[in-house]
Structure 1
């Protein structure tokens, strides 16, 4: 199964008792032999990608805004350096939403 899983666009291994190589090679490992879990996996993947894309967008906007303010001298360099770590808190908080659902 492992070579087929490696070649697949999305490989799904099923069962905790399955081959270790197959589970490691697969993109998704379902711990129970239940195909009904696949829609749930897809829902989790879509939600995760929405959060990741939101985090990337937020970071890009924040950095462009900060760079612009610093370039025009509106934001002093020391404050710009201090403000550089602030988006991390927002990104972590946004990512924590995945654990609550």
Structure 2
């Protein structure tokens, strides 16, 4: 029989050995983006049956067209913009 070697027994010692923390560090997921809680897989929605094509209704007789109002005169293009904007007090036309 071998004599027991003088190795220290496996007892908790005050040595600075890494103590397993109760909450393991999340190494897989970074703290900035927490993973959402796993949701239960939602049941696949049943495919809706395609609606049967409805028969087209008979076209109703069109009512008599109302008399169109007189067409408004086309808006004239704005006058060419001058390089200098006139102040509020000046007249639109030059006095020359």
TM-score range, shorter chain: under 0.3
Q: Which has the higher strand share?
A: 1
TM-score, normalization by structure 1: 0.17
Q: Which has the higher helix share?
A: 1
Using CA pairs under 8 Å that are at least 6 residues apart, name the structure with larger relative contact order, 1 or 2: 1
Higher alpha-carbon Rg: 2
TM-score, normalization by structure 2: 0.18
